[in-house]
C-alpha cells in the first residue's frame, strides 16, 4: 500500500507511533515491526514527493528513538591505527538493489553473528542509475534496522564521491562543486562516512610522484575542509582518500607517501581539521570483476604483500589502514587473507547483485524484461567484441533503478529463497573477514550522536490535520 497524503500515512501508524511536534514516540514496537515499518519503507520509496519526505523523516526519528542511528566509524578506525584491535576487515557493502530487503538480510546475518563492524554504502554513480538518492538510501538502512531489531550504530557511507576527470579538465571548479553539492545533500541524511575520490585527477606526466598526486591530494584536502565544516556537532565523519583508480596499475608505498604528505601539508594550511581514517589502494582487482565471453568471472591475483605494506604505511601516517576495492567477485578462499594482512576495509558490491539476479529462483520472465530493456537503454555500451553474456553482465546494474518496482514486487516465496541466499552470503563474509563478535568493540569505541531532522514542510500541506491531532 502507498499513501496519497501524509495524513493517511500518519493515521495508519498512530497506534504504533505517536508524533509529538518534531519528535516521535514508539508506543507499540511489535505492531511497528510487524507491518508499520514495511508501509513506511514502501512509502519512502514509491510515495508522492510529500509522502516520501514525511515517511523518510518518520523512519529517521523512529531510528533515533530506538537506537538505530547513523554513526561515524572514524574512532573505530583510528583505534585500529593505534593498535587497539587487529586481524579484522570491515566489509563495506554496496546495496544497489531492493535496499530495504537486502539490508534486512545483512542485518539478520549481523544479529546471528553478533557483528557490529559493517558498513552500508552506495557510490555516487549508483545513486543515479539505481535511483537511490541519499535520503532514500539511509531511510532504507534505518528501516531495515528497525524491522530486524538492530538497535546499534549504523555506518552509512558515500562510496566513490568521485570528481569527474573529463569535466575537471574543462571546468575544474564545476567538477568539484558537483561533489560538494552531493556532500551537502548526503551529510544531513546520515552519510557520516565518505570516500573522497579525487584519484581520477592523478596525472602521470610530471616527473615526480608529488607532482603526479598534486591535484589528488590538494582537492582531497579542500573537500575534507568542506565536510568538516558541515558535519553535525559531536560527529567526526570518517573520510577516505584514494591514491589510484581501481582497475589500473597497482599502488606503491611511494605513491601513498606522496599523497599523504601532500594531503597533510595542504590540510594544515586550511585549518586545524581531522584528516583521513583510511586510504584506498589498488592491488590487482577491478570493479565487478573481469567477465569472460561465457559470462564467468576471470580469476585474478591480489597482491596481498603490497596490500599489507600499504596498510602499515597508512597507519604510519595516522590513518587506520588501507582499503581494498572490487573484491566481491574474488574466489571465496581469498577472503580470510584480508584480515591476515591487516586490511582495514573491503568493498563488496557486484557479487551480491550476481547472486540475486543469477539465482535459480529469480523469475526468468523478469530476466528477459531486463535484457530487452538493456538492449535499448544500454545499447551504446555494447562493444562489437562482446558476447550477450558479457554485455548483460556489464550493463545490468543500470536496470536496478528502472526495475525497482518489479524487484519490490517479487512474490513472498521468491523473496524467501533469494534473501535467505543473500543472508547466507553476508554471514559467509562476516565470518571470513572476522567481524563476528565485534558489537561490543564498536559500542566501546564509537560515539553515537543523537541528531534530529526537521519535520518536512510537506507534513503541513492542505488536507492534513495541521498538527491539531498529533
pLDDT at 283: 82
Q: Which three cell numbers stand for residue 274?
A: 581531522
Each residue's pLDDT tens digit, 133-142: 999 999 999 9
pLDDT, residue 145, reads 98
Which among 99, 101, 2 is positioned nearest to 49, based on CA atoms?
2
pLDDT digits (tens, 9 = 90+) for 411-423: 999 999 999 999 9
- pLDDT at residue 215 greater than cutoff 50: yes
Measured CA to CA, the distance from residue 118 to residue 436 in angstroms comes to 10
464: pLDDT strictly greater than 70: no
Cα atoms found within 13 Å of the Cα of residue 60, Cβ hemisphere only: 27
Average pLDDT over residues 336-343: 96
123 three-class SS: strand
Residue 154 pLDDT grade (very low, low, confident, very high; cuts 50, 70, 90)? very high
pLDDT at 20 over 80: yes
One-character DSSP codes across 416-445: HHHHHHHHHHHHHHHHHTT-TT-HHHHHHH
The pLDDT confidence band at residue 121, using thresholds 50, 70 and 90, is very high
**Residue in the block written with cell 541528531:** 451
pLDDT number for residue 370: 98
- Position 302 scores a pLDDT of 81
Residue 179 has pLDDT above 60, yes or no: yes
User: Residue 469 pLDDT more than 50?
Assistant: no
**Percent share of the chain, pLDDT over 90:** 85
Say what the pLDDT of residue 250 is: 85
> 211-215, 298-302, 401-405 — which is least confidently predicted?
298-302
- Classify 4 as helix, strand or coil: coil
Contact 366, 372 (CB under 8 A): no
**The three three-digit cell numbers of residue 18, written as one number:** 505517536
d(Cα 227, Cα 221) in Å, to the nearest integer? 10
Bridge partners for 70 per DSSP = 154
Q: Which among 374, 417, 380 has a CA at the least distance from the CA of 398? A: 374
**Residue 470's pLDDT is what?**
45
The answer on pLDDT for 463 being more than 70 is: no
DSSP assignment string, 238-254:
EEEEESS-TTSSPP-HH
pLDDT band at 186 (very low <50, low <70, confident <90, very high): very high
Nine-digit cell string for 102? 537486502
pLDDT in tens, 315-331: 999 999 999 987 767 88
Query: Residue 196: how many CA atoms within 13 Å on its side-chain side?
Result: 30
Condensed to tens digits (0 to 9), the pLDDT of residues 233-257 reads: 999 999 999 997 644 578 899 999 9
State yes or no: pLDDT of 112 exceeds 70: yes
Kindly state the average pLDDT of the residues 307-311.
95
State if pTM tops 0.85.
yes
Name the band, by pLDDT with cuts 50, 70 and 90, for residue 286.
Answer: low
Amino acid at each position: 500500500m502507498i499513501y496519497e497524503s501524509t495524513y493517511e500515512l500518519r493515521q495508519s501508524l498512530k497506534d504504533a507511533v505517536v508524533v509529538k511536534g518534531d519528535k516521535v514516540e514508539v508506543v507499540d514496537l511489535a505492531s511497528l515491526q510487524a507491518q508499520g515499518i514495511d508501509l513506511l519503507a514502501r512509502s519512502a520509496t514509491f510515495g508522492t514527493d510529500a509522502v516520501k519526505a514525511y515517511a523518510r523523516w518518520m523512519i529517521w526519528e523512529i531510528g533515533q528513538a530506538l537506537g538505530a542511528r547513523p554513526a561515524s566509524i572514524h574512532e573505530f578506525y583510528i583505534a585500529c591505527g593505534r593498535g587497539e584491535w587487529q586481524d579484522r576487515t570491515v566489509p563495506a557493502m554496496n546495496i544497489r538493489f531492493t535496499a530495504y530487503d537486502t539490508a534486512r538480510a545483512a542485518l539478520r546475518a549481523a544479529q546471528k553473528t553478533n557483528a557490529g563492524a559493517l558498513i552500508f554504502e552506495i557510490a555516487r554513480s549508483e545513486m543515479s542509475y539505481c535511483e537511490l538518492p541519499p535520503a532514500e538510501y539511509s531511510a532504507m538502512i534505518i528501516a531495515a534496522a528497525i524491522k530486524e531489531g538492530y538497535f546499534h550504530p549504523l555506518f552509512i557511507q558515500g562510496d566513490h564521491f568521485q570528481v569527474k576527470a573529463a569535466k575537471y579538465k574543462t571546468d575544474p571548479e564545476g567538477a568539484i562543486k558537483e561533489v560538494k553539492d552531493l556532500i551537502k545533500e548526503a551529510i544531513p541524511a546520515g552519510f557520516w562516512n565518505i570516500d573522497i575520490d579525487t584519484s581520477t585527477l592523478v596525472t602521470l606526466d610530471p616527473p615526480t610522484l608529488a607532482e603526479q598526486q598534486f591535484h589528488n591530494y590538494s582537492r582531497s584536502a579542500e573537500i575534507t575542509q568542506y565536510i568538516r565544516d558541515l558535519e553535525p556537532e559531536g560527529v567526526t565523519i570518517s573520510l577516505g582518500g584514494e591514491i589510484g583508480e581501481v582497475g589500473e596499475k597497482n599502488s606503491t608505498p611511494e605513491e601513498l607517501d606522496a599523497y599523504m604528505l601532500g594531503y597533510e601539508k595542504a590540510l594544515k594550511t586550511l585549518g586545524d581539521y581531522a584528516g583521513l581514517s583510511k586510504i584506498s589502494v589498488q592491488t590487482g582487482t577491478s570493479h565487478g570483476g573481469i567477465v569472460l565471453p561465457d559470462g564467468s568471472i576471470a580469476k585474478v591475483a591480489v597482491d596481498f604483500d603490497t596490500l599489507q605494506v600499504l596498510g602499515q604505511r597508512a597507519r604510519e601516517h595516522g590513518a587506520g589502514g588501507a582499503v581494498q576495492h572490487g573484491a566481491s567477485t574474488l574466489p571465496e578462499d581469498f577472503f580470510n587473507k584480508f584480515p591476515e594482512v591487516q586490511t582495514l576495509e573491503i568493498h563488496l558490491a557486484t557479487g551480491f547483485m550476481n547472486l540475486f539476479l543469477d539465482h535459480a529462483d529469480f523469475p526468468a520472465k523478469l530476466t528477459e524484461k531486463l535484457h530487452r530493456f538493456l538492449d535499448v537503454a544500454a545499447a551504446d555500451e555494447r562493444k562489437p567484441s562482446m558476447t550477450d553474456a558479457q554485455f548483460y553482465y556489464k550493463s545490468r546494474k543500470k536496470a536496478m533503478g528502472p526495475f525497482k518496482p518489479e524487484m519490490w514486487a517479487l512474490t513472498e516465496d521468491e523473496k524467501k529463497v533469494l534473501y535467505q541466499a543473500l543472508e547466507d552470503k553476508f554471514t559467509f563474509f562476516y565470518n571470513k573477514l572476522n567481524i563476528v563478535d565485534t558489537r561490543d568493540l564498536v559500542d566501546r569505541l564509537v560515539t553515537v550522536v543523537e541528531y534530529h531532522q526537521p519535520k518536512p514542510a510537506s507534513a503541513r500541506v492542505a488536507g492534513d490535520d495541521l498538527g491539531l491531532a498529533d
